Amino acid sequence: MGEESVFRIADIACPPGQRARGRIVAGWLDDGSPVEVPLLVLHGTRPGPVFWLGAALHGIEIVGAEIIRRVVWEDVDPTDLAGTIVGAPIQNPLAFLDHRYNTPRDGLNINRFFPGNPKGSISEQLAYALYTEGIAKSDIVVDIHANTAPAHPFAILRTGSDPVYARARTLASAYGLTILESAPKPLSSGEKHLAGLLMDAALHDGKPAVTLEYECWTIDDRWVQAGTVGTLNALKRFEMLPGEEQPVPFVTKIAESLAVQVALRASAGGVMHHLTPPGTRVAVGEPVARIVDLYGDERELFRSPVDGYVMCFPRYLNQTAATGDEVVYIAPLQSGQMVARPGVTA
Amino acid sequence: MKAFAIGSVQCEPGHLATGHLIGGYLENSAAVEVPLVVLHGTRPGPVLWIGGALHGPEINGIEVIRRITRELVAPETLSGTVIGAPVQNPLSLRDHHRFILREGADVNRVFPGKALGNHTQRLAHRLFTEGIQRADVVIDIHSNTHPAIDFILIRGGSPAAERSRELAELFGWTLVLSLLEQEQSMTGTLMDAALAAGIPAMTLELTPQRELHDDSISSCCAGVLNVMREMGMLDEPTTMPVRREPIPELLGNTVQVLAGRGGFVHPLRQVGTRVNAGDSLAIIRDAYGDVVETIVSPLQGYVTVYPRYANQTCFSGQTVAFVNPIRAGA
């Protein structure tokens, strides 16, 4: 490969068989310093697709940064690689600096505003810069997220008749995770729907894409290993690496067909007590959690509104809840019954 | 036997009663209520104060107090009185934060507080004068971030401190004899105010923050019951505790090891293991994967905690590890 095969993205020019680093400048702070999205590039010696591996789009979901490090620096030799890996370990540097889920300045969940808006608030501009300067130059997109512990790790997959959805399933299933399926969603439609995700923008442009969910705040070696092996499997499936796929450690895949999770929200306030561990099958009406006040009295009992599996007990920081907080995620069985039509979230 | 009165609580003998102390007032004139759960026995005896959540993320004490008052101790069989204060700092619990955010202050550094001080000092003053001062023994339940070992902080140098140590031994946990005169920054604690008033007091550190894990909570409850037996509050013999952690020696004041650089923190040791001066404790990597700093122990001792704010990341000046030396000659 000659000079024309140098891979260029943002401020990076990476020759074949090399690693390189750089950044997307996604905005500017009050003191004039840039909002930098760090990028790592691993450019193969043979032609092939560009694989985007992103993490920490929400500032507390840091485990993917370590998955990227292992893949880029330890597990893939660029001379074995066909194509290019672009790692973006901290896709939302502002939320990351504040240890926050949302971008602090505008309070937005950036993962509802893709492909972004160059004239919008900081989250929308950050989404726009990430998309146009990074993801638009990729062919395959993996966005690594994390739920609060305790959680059952899973992948969110869009389904549809376009061939891109079949390729997205191929991608998602490489990770060995339980898969939650939902219909494709419109772009940039804000908080009301689980829509405008980074992966939605990628799928809209014909790129197979998936959202992975492990556990947040920590760099748990189980999920690092699972994500690393899953990524190597995906690279093999798309013929970017030679070799056999390996079993993914530490994750369990629920075989039944599941829809994207429903969220139960608290009416009362107090300490959350979890009644069944994530990954457990529950029937409609089965108790899954309760809120106990500071005096020790039960204030609210949560029952599953669906036949499905408990995925996670989300929390802000403490294992406590205030009115309106999401406190339980349950993935409904596609074939199961549902007593109401609860809100959908992620 | 008379009723026991504290704050808004009037507890008849042989009963459980709930109520609150008023810690201060907010802009909307609402009271900041410190909830209380009182178990008043049928026979005379000492008063035990069990406090939780003096720091907002440290919620384990809430569940310890719930189990002690609702499940493990029947007031009909109790001698004396248990005052449970599951959330000693309600504003910090609401914010899920260690500090009272509007003042940026740590209430556990300003005890016994000031009647006419700022909000933080007033909260400490009301807790102390209306509650803690009335106790014969004080157990203040805190929590460290994961990974950490469970331990108990005690002081020395007074009969009350010596008695605290005897009682703390009944938990079977690692003990840190943290001498006040050797403290760099941890002064003015609730425990210090109680000890200065001649009340035996200890600070428990459970694991982790923010979550309720049964192993730490169950062990703490067993220890509290043992203290109550030793105090004569339960008509049962004191039992020998099962040691939960592998540190056999008494430890000395915590040395906090700070980060110079910022990034992702990767601990290199299991908590509870021994290190020598110069041993590496953790590495800090930047977002590109480069090691930007290796954190080295400045002393011989045991690694007890790898503290973090929320993420497993750090910035300059943040504490990355606690190392406790072996307490010589104790």
For residue range A5-41, what is the model confidence (pLDDT) as tens digits? 999 999 999 999 999 999 999 999 989 999 999 999 9
**Which pLDDT value is given to residue A345?**
42
> Does the CB of A85 have a partner CB in chain B at under 8 Å?
no
Please provide residue B328's backbone torsions phi and psi, each rounded to the nearest 5 degrees. Answer: -75, 140
Mutation pick from B16, B50, B210 vs chain A, by most beta carbons of A within 10 Å, is B210
For the question of whether the overall pTM of this predicted structure is more than 0.80, the answer is yes
Query: Cβ contacts of residue A13 below 8 Å, gap of 6+?
Result: A6, A7, A20
Element (H, E) at B275: strand B274-275
More confident residue, A193 or B54: B54
State pLDDT tens for residues A56-106.
999 999 999 999 999 999 999 999 999 999 999 999 999 999 999 999 999
**Which pLDDT value is given to residue A192?**
59
Tokens of A175: 């990770």
CB pair distance less than 8 Å for B287 and A65: yes
B209/B204 Cα distance (integer angstroms): 13
CB pair distance less than 8 Å for B62 and A217: no
pLDDT value at A267 more than 80:
yes
Closest-CA residue of A relative to B211 is A319
State pLDDT tens for residues A268-298.
999 999 999 999 999 999 999 999 999 999 9
Q: Which range (A7-16, A186-195, B52-61, B139-148) has the least confidence?
A: A186-195
> Does the CB of A66 have a partner CB in chain B at under 8 Å?
yes
- Whether residue B317 contacts residue B307, with contact meaning beta carbons closer than 8 Å, is answered with no
State pLDDT tens for residues B152-162.
999 999 999 99
| Distance linking the first and last C-alpha atoms of chain B | 42
Report how far apart, in Å, the C-alpha atoms of B295 and of each of B184, B267, B299 are: 20, 9, 12
**Mean pLDDT within B58-74:** 98
CB pair distance less than 8 Å for A62 and B313: yes
**Which pLDDT value is given to residue A343?**
46
CB pair distance less than 8 Å for A292 and B66: yes
pLDDT value at B294 more than 90:
yes
CB pair distance less than 8 Å for B96 and A273: no
Mutation pick from B62, B88, B93, B318 vs chain A, by most beta carbons of A within 10 Å, is B62
* Residues of chain A neighbouring B289 (CB-CB closer than 8 A): 40, 68-69, 72-73
- Whether residue A40 contacts residue B289, with contact meaning beta carbons closer than 8 Å, is answered with yes
Closest-CA residue of B relative to A62 is B311
Q: Concatenated DSSP letters for B151-165?
A: EEEE--SSHHHHHHH
**Which pLDDT value is given to residue A195?**
84
* Residues of chain B neighbouring A275 (CB-CB closer than 8 A): none
* Residues of chain A neighbouring B65 (CB-CB closer than 8 A): 296
State pLDDT tens for residues A32-55.
999 999 999 999 999 999 999 999
CB pair distance less than 8 Å for B311 and A96: yes
Element (H, E) at B61: helix B60-67
β-strands A326-332, A308-312 pairing: antiparallel
Please state, rounded to an integer, the average pLDDT across all residues of chain A: 94
* Residues of chain A neighbouring B213 (CB-CB closer than 8 A): none
* Residues of chain B neighbouring A296 (CB-CB closer than 8 A): 37, 65-66, 69-70
Please provide residue B280's backbone torsions phi and psi, each rounded to the nearest 5 degrees. Answer: -75, 140
The alpha helices in B101-172, defined as continuous H runs, are 119-130, 159-168
**Which pLDDT value is given to residue B248?**
86
R_g over Cα of chain A? 20
Report how far apart, in Å, the C-alpha atoms of A246 and of each of A119, A235, B134 are: 45, 12, 64
Mutation pick from A57, A69, A73, A319 vs chain B, by most beta carbons of B within 10 Å, is A319
CB pair distance less than 8 Å for B96 and A72: no
Query: How does residue B246 score in pLDDT terms, banded at 50, 70 and 90?
Result: low
> Does the CB of A340 have a partner CB in chain B at under 8 Å?
no
- C-alpha distance from B219 to closest chain A C-alpha (Å): 18
A contact residues 127-146, partner B, Cβ 8 Å cutoff? none
**Which pLDDT value is given to residue A193?**
64
Closest-CA residue of B relative to A323 is B94
Query: How does residue A159 score in pLDDT terms, banded at 50, 70 and 90?
Result: very high
> Does the CB of A90 have a partner CB in chain B at under 8 Å?
yes
Please provide residue B136's backbone torsions phi and psi, each rounded to the nearest 5 degrees. Answer: -95, -25
CB pair distance less than 8 Å for A60 and B310: yes
Name the residue with tokens 């499997």.
Answer: A233
**Which pLDDT value is given to residue A10?**
97
Query: Cβ contacts of residue B106 below 8 Å, gap of 6+?
Result: B55, B98, B99, B120
Element (H, E) at B62: helix B60-67
Report how far apart, in Å, the C-alpha atoms of B320 and of each of A73, A261, B255, B258 are: 25, 36, 11, 5
Peptide bond into A150 cis (omega under 30): yes
**Which pLDDT value is given to residue A337?**
77
pLDDT value at A156 more than 90:
yes
* Residues of chain B neighbouring A66 (CB-CB closer than 8 A): 264
State pLDDT tens for residues B143-194.
999 999 999 999 999 999 999 999 999 999 999 999 999 998 899 999 999 9
Identify the CA nearest to A91 among candidates A114, A118, A121: A114
Residue B310 has its nearest CB partner, among A40, A217, A322, at A217
HSE-up of residue A61 (Cα within 13 Å, Cβ side)? 26
Report how far apart, in Å, the C-alpha atoms of B70 and of each of B3, B9, B82 are: 19, 17, 12
